[in-house]
Structure 1
Amino acid sequence: MAAEFNDTEDNYGNYSDFDYGDYAPANSTDVKEFSRAFLAILYSLVFILGFTGNGLVVCVLVKHRNQSNLTDICLFNLALSDLLFVFTLPFYSHNARVGQWAFGDFMCRLISGSHHIGFFSSIFFMVVMTLDRYMIIVHAHRVARYRTKRASIILTVLVWMLSLFVSLPDFIFIKAIGQESQGVECDYPEESKVWERYSLFTINVLGLIIPLLVMVGCYSTIIPTLLSMRTAKKHRIVKLIICIVLAFFLLWAPYNISLFLEFLQKRGIIPDDETWYNNVKLSITVTEAFAYTHCCLNPIIYAFVGEKFMRRALQLLKKLMPGYSRDLTDSSFRRSSVMSRGSEVTSASFKL
């Protein structure tokens, strides 16, 4: 994550500490300048899109909070997680643009920790929603009575506490460190570099491998169950499931692999020549661009595809912008009415 591998060149790994022998990579300046411009623009775009989409999700769910269930509560917290994540991006945008951390030690710890909490809580709530769908579709007769608002609140608190616990090293060990040649960077000091390995482990295992295994395992059982149901929209829901898994894997896996390659490079396990240096550095920058857009896609994948949520969102937009949204609302209602056939179990699980 940006908070974790933050430095003055591209926010992902202290490359200046890497030993490349008696020379520095000849074209590393070009990669550095590209990273600064690219990340500054990327962070700004993700902030705008993520804030707009997730903010609308929060507004809709707050307005209809009296009708909420476990799915709505998870959606609400998923949107909050993504908002917490995107709120840290303007700081990293500034850091990428000027080439150093300019907000002091306290903000370094706060932003880094908040960035991680938003990342992990978002992943964890997606896992909870996956498990909930699995239980309500495959074992609907067993779990219906346990899907209460009280149980949802307890589960929500546990997820946020787990996210805070996993992110604690950022609050404790990361510091604003002054470097003679690079200014100030927000990173782990030398005596705490071991926590970089911990962060890499948690990002790869808790942020990718385990969630992906849960999604694949649950949805591989859900899909055959759905296909055996007599519901007109089962194929649409199967496509939605495939989109959820593919979007998560394709957006996050390349970034996690790039961070792991950087770790192997620092440990001297893979070549430490100029070509590898620049390729890994550029790979982290580019794959991050794809990974960070996932928080912008979450409202689309998990909320706006659902007919009930879309209807509520359009009603809210109609009140906020009556002239602009009238035609959109009417046409969307017509499409929604055509697509609103399906079984109660399926709708309850995927209405989002």
Structure 2
Amino acid sequence: MAGDNISAENCTLMFNITTIPWGGIPPCDYEEVKVANTGILVTLYSLVFVLGLLGNGLVVCVLVKHWKQSNLTDICLFNLAVSDLVFVITLPFYSHFLVKGYWTFGNFMCHVLSGLHRTGFFSSIFFMVIMTLDRYIVIVHGHKVAQYRTMRLTIALTIITWILSLCVSLPSFILAESEDECLFLPENEHWHHYDLFATNVLGLILPLLVMVVSYSRIIPVLVKMKTAKRHRIVKLILSIVAVFFLFWAPYNISFFLNYLHLQNIIILTCNGDRNLRLAVSVTEAFAYTHCCLNPIIYAFVGQKFMRRTLQMLKKWLPISVGDLSDSSSRRSSVVSRSSGFMVTTM
């Protein structure tokens, strides 16, 4: 929209404390929401930044050290960790903005950080989808497609995924503007519809659908396997889906409700509006913590990866991790080596 009806949402936090909704309704007093947001979000952003940086940084270090033995799974793990790192490195800038109350990094950095934030978010989701599909193919159709899981295909999928993530995030690179705040300022309402579609469909519905369908086919195959650990694997699979849904669904629901409110499809009182804005902010920050869990869910659970990690920590830290490393190396694989993804992640 043009003129006074332009919506000025924060370019990455997806909430705004001071602007007038699209319908032109005079704003309520959001000072209490702003104060609550600042304390909660700065704490959560700081926690996510530290834990995400350490966990994903360790994944990158381990995989780089053993890059000569890398397969499709390892490269997907590497790119997933890089995606989460791209995402978390933007958080200190937004923490600084929340504390100061205004944007101090200039218009160029607003464009760059907005785009990187969205790129990290979508690339992380897309690589999780690829890893889920790869897991499905290897376990359900392992012998038929084993010859197609080549390094060339892996590199091609990696490049395509990053290009797709950049394309989906392009509006954030272009339409972000810096005044007192770093704002997402599209020229018309269609970009807001696109943002809603990208966040809810590409960010939640599509990956969740892929996980549910793929794992619903994988679990019966695992149950039939003659391994004492099959029940642990099934529980881990269910945990992957449940954690993804529980962390991201609350934000997507509150974001969608906020969109309906801004479109005047649902009408809220000032108190209801304040609560909704606070819900969007808090659930989004809570969803961000999922990137701290990715290293645990997709990397550190795997015996091969854990063994490599312990070997690296044994060299870095003055503590004794040799016994843990030897114990890890003696464990039997959950699935045969033809199921490469399961060996790594389960």
The counterpart of 1:152, out of the listed 145, 154, 166, is 154
1:82·1:119 contact (CA, 8 Å) conserved in 2?
yes
Matched, 1:24 2:24: no
Counterpart amino acid of 1:17?
A: I
Counterpart amino acid of 2:128?
A: M
2:111·2:172 contact (CA, 8 Å) conserved in 1?
yes
Pair 1:292–1:22, CA change in 2 (3 A): closer
Counterpart amino acid of 2:269?
A: D
Matched, 1:337 2:330: yes
Instruction: Give structure 1 stretches of 5+ with no counterpart.
Output: 179-183
1:133·1:350 contact (CA, 8 Å) conserved in 2?
no
**Number of equivalenced pairs:** 337
Displacement of 1:29 = 2.0
Which piece of structure 1 moves more, 302-311 or 197-206? 197-206
2:49·2:88 contact (CA, 8 Å) conserved in 1?
yes
> Any idea what SS the aligned residue of 1:249 has?
helix
Partner of 1:181: none
Counterpart amino acid of 2:213?
A: G
Matched, 1:198 2:200: no
Q: Using structure 2 for the length normalisation, give the TM-score.
A: 0.92
Pair 1:292–1:337, CA change in 2 (3 A): same
- Structure-1 separation of matches of 2:137 and 2:14: 40
> Any idea what SS the aligned residue of 1:351 has?
helix
Pair 1:231–1:347, CA change in 2 (3 A): farther
Pair 1:98–1:193, CA change in 2 (3 A): farther
Counterpart amino acid of 1:162?
A: L
After TM superposition, list the pairs within 5 Å mapping 1:268-287 onto structure 2: 268-287=264-283
- Structure-2 separation of matches of 1:7 and 1:68: 37
- Structure-2 separation of matches of 1:22 and 1:110: 32
- Structure-2 separation of matches of 1:23 and 1:288: 22
Counterpart amino acid of 1:302?
A: Y
Which piece of structure 1 moves more, 13-22 or 267-276? 13-22
> Any idea what SS the aligned residue of 1:191 has?
coil
The counterpart of 1:314, out of the listed 304, 310, 319, is 310
1:11·1:96 contact (CA, 8 Å) conserved in 2?
no
Displacement of 1:297 = 0.3
Instruction: Give structure 2 stretches of 5+ with no counterpart.
Output: 1-7
- Structure-1 separation of matches of 2:226 and 2:186: 61
- Structure-1 separation of matches of 2:15 and 2:209: 26
> Any idea what SS the aligned residue of 2:181 has?
strand
Matched, 1:299 2:292: no
The counterpart of 2:248, out of the listed 238, 249, 252, is 252
The counterpart of 1:118, out of the listed 115, 120, 124, is 120
Counterpart amino acid of 1:67?
A: Q
Kindly report the root-mean-square deviation, in angstroms, between the aligned alpha carbons of the 2 structures. 2.0
> Any idea what SS the aligned residue of 2:81 has?
helix
Counterpart amino acid of 1:242?
A: L
Q: Using structure 1 for the length normalisation, give the TM-score.
A: 0.90
Which piece of structure 1 moves more, 45-54 or 14-23? 14-23
1:54·1:299 contact (CA, 8 Å) conserved in 2?
yes
Partner of 1:233: 229
- Structure-2 separation of matches of 1:284 and 1:11: 8
Pair 1:24–1:279, CA change in 2 (3 A): same
Counterpart amino acid of 2:10?
A: N
Which piece of structure 1 moves more, 94-103 or 307-316? 94-103
- Structure-1 separation of matches of 2:186 and 2:303: 52
Pair 1:72–1:317, CA change in 2 (3 A): same
Displacement of 1:191 = 2.5
Pair 1:345–1:7, CA change in 2 (3 A): closer
Which piece of structure 1 moves more, 190-199 or 81-90? 190-199
Identity of aligned residues (%): 56
- Structure-2 separation of matches of 1:193 and 1:33: 29
1:7·1:13 contact (CA, 8 Å) conserved in 2?
no
> Any idea what SS the aligned residue of 1:344 has?
coil
> Any idea what SS the aligned residue of 1:230 has?
coil
After TM superposition, list the pairs within 5 Å mapping 1:36-51 onto structure 2: 36-51=38-53
